[in-house]
Chains A and B, each alone.
Chain A
């Protein structure tokens, strides 16, 4: 019996006729302007790993250590980092999934985080695409703004869900410590995402070379 090696085609390429590629072709035909190809799947897997890693870290290690007296939110800066790196659509999807996962693992009963994470993902992505450049100062600015938004959400949640908490207690015991912790720990998701997504993006030298060729 003679075995012959079959040639493999890239997922989503014209010659690819496997079940998965047909499924992806169908998805892409919905005209969501969100095509899924091999690179997108690789990115998705990496980001999914990050979501699991950070949500688990947040609900185990950091919830025990409680730096500054609060559990830092690692998934919000992750959403910002992904949105800046992969633009608004990825930001929206990652925001939705992250909010759902962290709400599920965190065991909260009032789930409001999708209302924060998804807009953050969308706006950070859109602003990076149309207004700002993907740079460290912009990332710091976006993170700071989202942490302040998270501060208000934490304040409101503490005020309405913690029995007997006064506005001052909600501010001093929950919201402010959360703000400090979020600002400090936001560095890690940004760092991880930037390092992991680097292979998928063209370097500055490559971009300059491409521009030179065009002109």
Chain B
């Protein structure tokens, strides 16, 4: 065995090995590429490139199996992240809702300086499908009394019909028994907005008692006139959808789509105090 280490072959191999270690290392550290190394790379590069493409395809196939554990972990992590983001979104939605409501509140307050508003949350709705009654979480202790109007930022909703210490019951304008004194904002034509059973099923109000020559068009905004004991003047009731003239009596009736409906709001305001204006529309 020792004869091998004394042979010419061994010496040559040993020298070549040292050259193979030292020369490329030194040249690479100097930023140069050894010719032989460059030749090996040049010759084998096309094969390597081709093989790498094939390897890419194989990797794509095998990654389904090899990456299973990683994907499983990632899935668990992403699920947690989604749950956390959902919570954040719910929080943000709540904040936005609150902001919208506060904004409406502020707008209403800016338009009507004389109003004293008490915020309330709709805590329940009528137990029967024909009922247009809703419950509020504020009552006498908040200064709410029977007959006070309930409004949202968009318009009127109804009036307080029953009050308890910490709760109150309100009747919607869609209730067949209620009627509101109203006028057309554009022309000042006066009438009465009331609910009719047939129309209320479609969520529409009827405006009647308009003069023969009343100027009313589709799209006109209808406001409260302030006549009567419930609603203050200039609150939005809704928008005219159709106008009809009776051939016999020549009286005009219009249908009005309410600006605010119960299914759109969850927070409302009760107008506990307002100035009564003497001027007429």
Interfacial residues, chain A to chain B (CB-CB below 8 A): 30-34, 52, 55-57, 59-61, 64-65, 88-89, 92-93, 96, 99-101, 103-105, 109-112, 114-115, 118, 122, 126, 129-130
For residue B44, CB closer than 8 A to chain A, the reply is yes
18 A-B residue pairs with CB within 8 Å: A52-B44, A60-B48, A60-B54, A61-B51, A61-B59, A65-B55, A65-B58, A92-B10, A92-B13, A105-B40, A105-B41, A105-B48, A109-B29, A110-B25, A114-B17, A114-B20, A126-B1, A129-B1
Whole-angstrom CA separation of A52 from B44 in the bound complex: 8
Closest to A57 in B: B51
Contacts of B41 in A (CB 8 A): 104-105
Closest to B3 in A: A33
Shortest CB-to-CB span from A75 to chain B, Å, is 13
Interfacial residues, chain B to chain A (CB-CB below 8 A): 1, 4, 7-10, 12-14, 16-17, 20-21, 24-25, 28-29, 36-37, 40-41, 44, 47-48, 51-52, 54-56, 58-59, 62, 66
Whole-angstrom CA separation of A88 from B52 in the bound complex: 33
Whole-angstrom CA separation of A115 from B17 in the bound complex: 7
Whole-angstrom CA separation of A147 from B144 in the bound complex: 87
Contact A109 B25 (CB under 8 A): yes
Pick the residue among A52, A60, A99 that contacts B20 (CB under 8 A).
A99
Contact B9 A33 (CB under 8 A): yes
Closest to A121 in B: B13
Closest to A112 in B: B21
Contacts of A104 in B (CB 8 A): 24, 37, 40-41
Given A111-B24, A114-B21, are A56 and B47 neighbors across the interface (CB < 8 Å)? Answer: yes
Whole-angstrom CA separation of A48 from B18 in the bound complex: 22
Contact B37 A93 (CB under 8 A): no
Whole-angstrom CA separation of A100 from B36 in the bound complex: 9
Given A96-B17, A109-B25, are A61 and B54 neighbors across the interface (CB < 8 Å)? Answer: yes
Pick the residue among A32, A55, A60, A65 that contacts B9 (CB under 8 A).
A32
Closest to B8 in A: A32
Contact A100 B40 (CB under 8 A): yes
Closest to B26 in A: A111
Contacts of A112 in B (CB 8 A): 21
Shortest CB-to-CB span from A201 to chain B, Å, is 21
Contacts of A111 in B (CB 8 A): 20-21, 24-25, 28
Contact A56 B44 (CB under 8 A): yes
Pick the residue among B14, B20, B21, B66 that contacts A65 (CB under 8 A).
B66
Contacts of B37 in A (CB 8 A): 100, 103-104
Shortest CB-to-CB span from A104 to chain B, Å, is 4
Contact A52 B47 (CB under 8 A): yes
Whole-angstrom CA separation of A64 from B60 in the bound complex: 10
Contacts of B12 in A (CB 8 A): 32
Contacts of B36 in A (CB 8 A): 100
Contacts of B66 in A (CB 8 A): 65
Contacts of A103 in B (CB 8 A): 24, 37
Contact B55 A64 (CB under 8 A): yes
Whole-angstrom CA separation of A96 from B21 in the bound complex: 10
Contact A60 B1 (CB under 8 A): no
Whole-angstrom CA separation of A56 from B244 in the bound complex: 88
Pick the residue among B13, B28, B29 that contacts A96 (CB under 8 A).
B13
Contacts of A33 in B (CB 8 A): 7-9
Closest to B45 in A: A105
Contact A34 B9 (CB under 8 A): yes
Contacts of A32 in B (CB 8 A): 7-9, 12
Shortest CB-to-CB span from B194 to chain A, Å, is 78
Contact B54 A96 (CB under 8 A): no
Closest to B29 in A: A109
Contacts of A110 in B (CB 8 A): 25, 28
Whole-angstrom CA separation of A111 from B29 in the bound complex: 11
16 extra interchain contacts, Cβ-Cβ under 8 A, other than A60-B55, A104-B24, A112-B21?
A: A33-B8, A52-B44, A60-B52, A61-B55, A65-B66, A88-B4, A92-B9, A92-B10, A92-B13, A96-B13, A100-B20, A103-B37, A105-B40, A114-B20, A118-B17, A122-B4
Whole-angstrom CA separation of A60 from B12 in the bound complex: 33
Closest to A127 in B: B1
Whole-angstrom CA separation of A34 from B13 in the bound complex: 12
